[in-house]
Structure 1
Amino acid sequence: MAAGTVLAALMELAVLSAVSGASVQQLPSKKTHKEGETMKFICAFSFVRKNSEVQVRWWKDGESSFLAPSSRRIFKKRNYLSALFDLQNLRVSDSGRYYCSVAYERKYYNGTGTELQVLASLNLPQITSTLVRKGSSMILRLVCTVAESQSRELAFAWMADNTEVGSGAKPHVEPLQGDLFRVSSSLEVVRPARNAIVYTCQVTYPGNRVQKQNYTYIASAKERQAAVFPWWIYVCAAAAAFVLLLLLTVICLACKRKRRSDEYRSVPKEMHTQILPGQRMPPRSVAKGTELRNMNQRPRCPHVPPRRQQGLGKNVYAAPQFK
């Protein structure tokens, strides 16, 4: 049954393309609406007699079948001279040319057509900012969101101080209840080094209509605090400095001890006992000079003079007087 209905509709469309529709007028000839509004189509025909049977159908250019009634499409026959078609809750995809078809006495008459253009609603985008840390860098994340849109075909562009940001933007589409969408675009940049940088989110809707929103970066107290290095970095730096200082101290003490050991080995063994504890070892040249000088200053035995011969012709020597 459904296949027969489609076939009949196709045959009717073929007949409509061959029949002149000069006797059927449509009002208005062209109309522009915004998303969510209602479009009223009027099909007028003056050749139908009163109380005659007439059938009016509607179709959209480019489609292969007549439009079927729905919650958005309401068809009315006002009188024997005209018919109405209300298209509610308009969408951007509803844009196109619509025709009415009048079937009267086994003949079909086309209407002159009505051109409908549906413009996307210009919801002002909103920009939110967050500061996140990635590794050792602080990242400024900006999100431009159109809360409710009946079209998901939105184009986003980012600019920083009137200079387009060519990379980093990521679009995202989230379906909502009904036929609405939440469309957003995010941008991540390294935290600016200066304040008062103006970021602009530009949204282009179907029909080449543009809506912009600006965001001026000013470092808040929270962002300045987040930009400071964490406390553990300072603790690690202090610990590393302490370990380095301790290592240098140990190396210096080891070098000093080795130098003293070398000086001790260079002194003769007989002089080791003459060096007091804590006293530095004299150089080898100084030790040799000191040894010769000490040898020259040693006391010698005094010369014993001979005594006069007395008695039996033997020499008697006096005992030396030592001090």
Structure 2
Amino acid sequence: MFGCQYIWALGIIYEVVSASVSQTPESTILMAGSDMTFHCTASPVLIHSHVDVYWWKLGNQASLQPDSDGRKRFFPFTNGATSFQILNVRVPDSGFYYCGVRDSGNEILNGTGSKLVVHASPEPIRLIPKVSPINTSALSLVCEAAEFYPESLTFTWYKNDSNIVTGISTIQKVNSEGTYEASSILKTTGPAESGIVYTCVVFHLTLQDPAVAVYYDSISNSDHEPTPIYLQISGYTGAALIFLTLGAFILMSYKLSKCNA
């Protein structure tokens, strides 16, 4: 909205339009790796003026400048408008951004501000098997998520098609970049079983569908003859069928929970 003042002189009303600066978008959420462009527009009274434009991020004392990695781009003031772009946004880029316009040495006119929130997906997730040097029959599975944001993330474990609720420990921490790191460890205490499928399922705000990682426990016994190849194929096929069935069940349950939320 342009601020207006009215002056009456000799019975004639003159409208004096004060300068103002607006910004778009007002607020946006992007995934890490995307490009973000902020737009700054000055009121018509400044269109034909010689102006200096400044950009800064709330909380930083100095105005933004081009950086060595070339991620920040500044566009010239043309026809009353200018833009500022950040390439390959990262979680630390989140914050409030402002443009300021100053004409002919006058005070800087601040823009309305633009809020940027950057999210990061925990994908890809990794499932790493570890065997205890003390008890070789015990198996530990470590499910690791990639760096993610925002904080809330959930691990769920399955043995074949049964949900596992014991023997699980989860570690989560924030790093210097402001993103989160998390892993979940599943420890089995009984003897290893051949043909068992372990599945780690990760739920996060950034995921339209849960992320899934699978470990197929195929143990060979040196005291026995090698398993015939057709049984190996049958075993892997069975594991694949179990995984597909479990995946469909998890996906259906997740979508139903979202509908009922």
Q: Aligning the two structures, in what range does the TM-score lie when normalised by the shorter sequence?
A: 0.5 to 0.7
- What are the superposed Cα offsets for residues 125-151 of structure 1, whole Å, 9 maximum, x if unpaired? 132324x2443452212132346x476
Matching residue's letter, 1:129: P
Structure 1 residue 44 displacement after superposition: 0.4
Structure 1 residue 58 displacement after superposition: 1.3
Among candidates 29, 53, 78, match of residue 50 of structure 2: 53
Structure 1 residue 61 displacement after superposition: 2.5
Question: Residue in 1 aligned with 2:121?
Answer: 121
Question: Residue in 2 aligned with 1:23?
Answer: 20
> Take 1:55 and 1:109, find their aligned partners in 2: how far apart are those partners?
10
SS at match of 1:213: strand
The residue correspondences of 1:1-323 to structure 2 (distance < 5 A) are 23-45=20-42, 46-50=44-48, 52-70=49-67, 71-105=70-104, 106-130=106-130, 132-136=131-135, 138-146=137-145, 149=147, 155=153, 157-160=155-158, 161-165=162-166, 167-169=168-170, 185-191=184-190, 196=196, 198-202=198-202, 204=204, 211-215=210-214, 218=217, 220-222=218-220, 224=221
Structure 1 residue 158 displacement after superposition: 4.8
Contact 1:124 1:211 in 2 (8 A): no
SS at match of 1:56: strand
Contact 2:33 2:88 in 1 (8 A): yes
> Take 1:119 and 1:36, find their aligned partners in 2: how far apart are those partners?
10
Contact 1:202 1:210 in 2 (8 A): no
Question: Residue in 2 aligned with 1:251?
Answer: none
Contact 1:172 1:184 in 2 (8 A): no
> Take 1:54 and 1:204, find their aligned partners in 2: how far apart are those partners?
45
Unpaired segments ≥5 residues, structure 2: 1-17, 224-261
Contact 1:35 1:120 in 2 (8 A): yes
- What are the superposed Cα offsets for residues 205-262 of structure 1, whole Å, 9 maximum, x if unpaired? 7x798843243654x233x559xxxxxxxxxxxxxxxxxxxxxxxxxxxxxxxxxxxx
> Take 2:101 and 2:190, find their aligned partners in 1: how far apart are those partners?
66
Matching residue's letter, 2:187: E
Structure 1 residue 90 displacement after superposition: 0.4
Question: Residue in 2 aligned with 1:244?
Answer: none
> Take 1:23 and 1:66, find their aligned partners in 2: how far apart are those partners?
20
Kindly indicate which of the two structures has a greater share of residues assigned to strand.
2
Distance 1:140 1:112, change over 3 A: same
Query: Aligned-pair RMSD on alpha carbons?
Result: 4.0
Amino-acid identity (%)? 29
Distance 1:133 1:32, change over 3 A: closer
Distance 1:211 1:95, change over 3 A: farther
Kindly indicate which of the two structures has a greater share of residues assigned to helix.
1
SS at match of 1:124: coil
What TM-score, normalized by structure 2, do the two folds share? 0.59
Unpaired segments ≥5 residues, structure 1: 1-20, 227-323
Matching residue's letter, 1:30: S
Contact 1:35 1:150 in 2 (8 A): no
Structure 1 residue 119 displacement after superposition: 1.7
> Take 1:217 and 1:191, find their aligned partners in 2: how far apart are those partners?
16
Contact 1:129 1:141 in 2 (8 A): yes
What TM-score, normalized by structure 1, do the two folds share? 0.49
Matching residue's letter, 1:124: P
Structure 1 residue 107 displacement after superposition: 1.9
> Take 2:118 and 2:216, find their aligned partners in 1: how far apart are those partners?
36
Matching residue's letter, 2:40: C
SS at match of 1:47: helix
